[in-house]
Structure 1
Amino acid sequence: LVTVRDIRAGGRDVKIARYAASENATYAMFAGGGLKWAEQQIKNGRYLVKPGRYATKPDLTGLSCDWAPFASRRGEILSLLVEPRDDTSPEVFAALARRVLQVFDAAPRRSHPLSRDNAIPRNSARQVSADGWAEVASHSDFRKFDDGLRLTLDCTPEEIDSVEAILVAARARGEIDFGLHRQSHALMTCLVPSGRPDSHLHFLDGMGGGYAKAAEMMEEGALAAMSSRQPERAVRAAEA
């Protein structure tokens, strides 16, 4: 709906990388500010889709939600969203993202919300082999980047507090907006099958509101920051 030509004319770009969730499964990550710009334009009404009438329902064959919620093993499941402000350079945001990830990366798989041995199918009559579950757990999107960080992690409260302090300081400097939400369990929301049996993907979110709650906090923080900048802008305009 929104062309890359329009995005580039708006001063942004769409850069795509493939992230290896495992040896067999990959998914896309995006940078360049283009997705965020396109979302803003759509919300502002620049690109509209006429309402239509559809006689048939979409084909959801292959989509499934087969797993019970996954309890945190380390304290809390964190849903975290972090987005750069429009005038924040990619280098500054990348450095901040590295600081955040370093807190959670003290050991391999330490913050992964799915353990290698806690699979519980909703249908208790089903059995999952250890190897089969290890493959499922490794094919999950608990880390995403699409012009911002999108994380669903299993963390200690101290780790979350440390990251929140980093992000509060960065927001005060005018570099980012962020939202986070703590909850007790993670959810595997669906399975997207693939032409190759060993390259399926599983989407993760928090059970207590997850990304939706984190997005609410981020929006509230952005509005508050915008309001606090209004007097400064008015002074600058008057001086000009």
Structure 2
Amino acid sequence: MPNTGFYRDLTPLPSFEAAMDTQAHVDLPDDWWVVIADVVNSTQAIAEGAYKKVNTVGVACIAAIANIDRRLELPFIFGGDGATCAIPDSLREPAIVALRGAQRLAADSFGLKLRAGLVRVSDLRADGQWTRVARIALSPLVMLPVFSGRGWEAAESRVKAGQGALMVDPDGGPAAASFEGFECRWQNVPSFRDVKLSLIVVATSADAASNQQTYQQVLATIHEIFGDPGAHHPLRLDGMRLAFSPMSLAGETMVRTYGRSLLTKFGYALRMLLQNAAGWWLFARNIDTRAVRWSRYRDDMVRNTDVRKFDGALRMVLDASEAQADELERRLAAAHAAGQLAWGVHKSREALITCLIESHEGRHMHFIDGSDGGYALAARQLKARLAERD
């Protein structure tokens, strides 16, 4: 199967800062597809208090795509209310079936409408829209994808418009998705200062070199205000606690037992509570088992988060004081006035963690967002600022 190992075979870039150099990125093969999935009217759902449901559906989409063929590594980025992925042509039909499964899960279990579609890379290239990718090693077993090029944004626009894309109809054919590895077992993590900032920055120059410089300047500004990444990371070992509330654990149960009997759902929920109790005991005593080094699991978890990511926009979740947040917004406003960028930010009191676990011994990825719709609401603010420029 040609090109299926394209992403897996990319040499990881040495750092997130290095990944801002888009010259180091590689074009997606023409026969690959960009997959876009997002919750329709997510802002309204968040306003009604359904932010955790929105996050759950977004990560469930990633699980559905990743589980089509675990032998392949596929690039995906979580956007808060959805996800962007890339797949080889050989996975197109299985992906459509899996996305239908995710759409039905969203509707039946969470009362949400999930929009999904695919756009062929060659079609984007024919319109002069480029889709480029790189990857960074968060740890030896976990890679974070990095996207660049206007093709990703163009694909999202096509899917949202329902034109120029292969749209996925939840009732258009067979639907079957595996959500294996989806977990949501941690309490929300409170701010260690004042707030959790969900930040999105888009450089707005027509010149790629100028945009790259803008992103580097933003990263330098964040370092100046907040210190090194560890100083503003939204997770810390002393703030991470396993959840035991049935309400907190309901999302995972609904995802992992979708379409199953009530007895199966009850059994899964009970087993999850027992596993969390065992986890609490292992973590408290730093005990390792033959299969998993639980004494290091939370350290790996902090390392394997998507706290900083880039998909043509810089996205971050930071722990911040009110003074730091105000200073950052002052600097961003000045850059916006100078025509360099647009930005959106949302303040939350807590961070929400949703997980995708292939193996508890190192191969696990964790998705971070503001607890009350951070990225989705930051994106709304960003769009308003971009509209001001038009």
Quote how far apart the aligned CAs of 1:26 are.
Answer: 1.1
Note the 1:2-13 alignment, pairs <5 A: 2-13=119-130
The answer on whether the counterparts of 1:104 and 1:110 sit within 8 Å (CA) in structure 2 is: no
Question: Which residue does 1:145 correspond to in 2?
Answer: 310
Report if the CA contact (8 A) 2:202-2:312 is conserved: yes
Q: Quick check: 1:63 aligned with 2:182?
A: yes
- Partner-residue secondary structure (3-state), 2:179: coil
Deviation at 1:176, TM superposition (A): 2.6
Deviation at 1:3, TM superposition (A): 2.1
1:41/1:55 Cα in 2 relative to 1: closer, same or farther (>3 Å)? closer
Amino acid at match of 1:70: V
- Superposition pairs of residues 108-119 of structure 1, within 5 angstroms: 108-119=229-240
Distance 1:201 1:213, change over 3 A: same
- C-alpha distance 67-195 of structure 1, shift in aligned 2 (>3 A): closer
| Distance in 2 (alpha carbons) for counterparts of 1:195 and 1:185 | 27
**C-alpha offsets along residues 18-50 of structure 1, whole Å, 9 cap, x if unaligned?**
112223321210112221122123233222425
Measure the CA separation in 1 of the matches of 2:197 and 2:320.
Answer: 7
Q: How does 1:1-240 map to 2 (within 5 A)?
A: 1-44=118-161, 45-49=163-167, 51-53=169-171, 58-85=177-204, 87-105=205-223, 106-123=227-244, 125=277, 126-127=279-280, 128=283, 129=286, 130-189=295-354, 191-194=355-358, 197-226=361-390
Cα shift at 1:82: 1.3
Identity of aligned residues (%): 30
TM-score using structure 2 length: 0.53
In 2, the alpha carbon distance for the partners of 1:194 and 1:50 equals 27
Q: Secondary structure at the match of 2:134?
A: strand
Shift of 1:143: 0.6
After superposition, the Cα gap between the structure-2 partners of 1:73 and 1:12, relative to the gap in structure 1 and judged at 3 Å, is same
Q: 1:82 and 1:175 mapped to 2: Cα distance?
A: 10
Question: What residue in structure 2 maps to residue 232 of structure 1?
Answer: none
In structure 2, distance between residues paired with 1:60 and 1:21: 23
Q: Which amino acid in structure 1 is aligned with residue 381 of structure 2?
A: M
Residue aligning to 2:250: none
Equivalent pair of 2:297/2:361 in contact (CA under 8 Å): no
**Cα distance per residue 1:26-79 (max 9 Å; x no partner):** 121011222112212323322242524266553222211010000111221000
Q: Is the 8 A contact 2:202 2:313 kept in 1?
A: yes
180-189 or 5-14, which deviates more? 5-14
179 and 112 in structure 1: CA distance in 2 versus 1, 3 angstrom threshold = same
RMSD: 2.2
Greater helix share, structure number: 2
Please, which runs of 5 or more residues in structure 2 have no aligned partner?
1-117, 245-275, 287-294
Larger RCO, structures 1/2 (Cα 8 Å, 6+ apart): 1
Q: Is the 8 A contact 1:80 1:152 kept in 2?
A: yes
Count of matched residue pairs: 224
- Of residues 198-207 and 95-104 in structure 1, the stretch that sits farther from structure 2 once superposed is 95-104
Contact residue 184 and residue 207 of structure 1 kept, 8 A: yes
TM-score normalised to structure 1 length? 0.83
Structure 2: how far apart are the matches of 1:47 and 1:133? 40
1:150-199 Cα shifts (integer Å, max 9, x gaps): 1111122233222222322232233332210011110102x212368312
Q: Which amino acid aligns with 2:188?
A: P
Amino acid in the other structure paired with 2:376: A
Q: Is the 8 A contact 2:214 2:341 kept in 1?
A: no
Other-structure match for 1:236: none
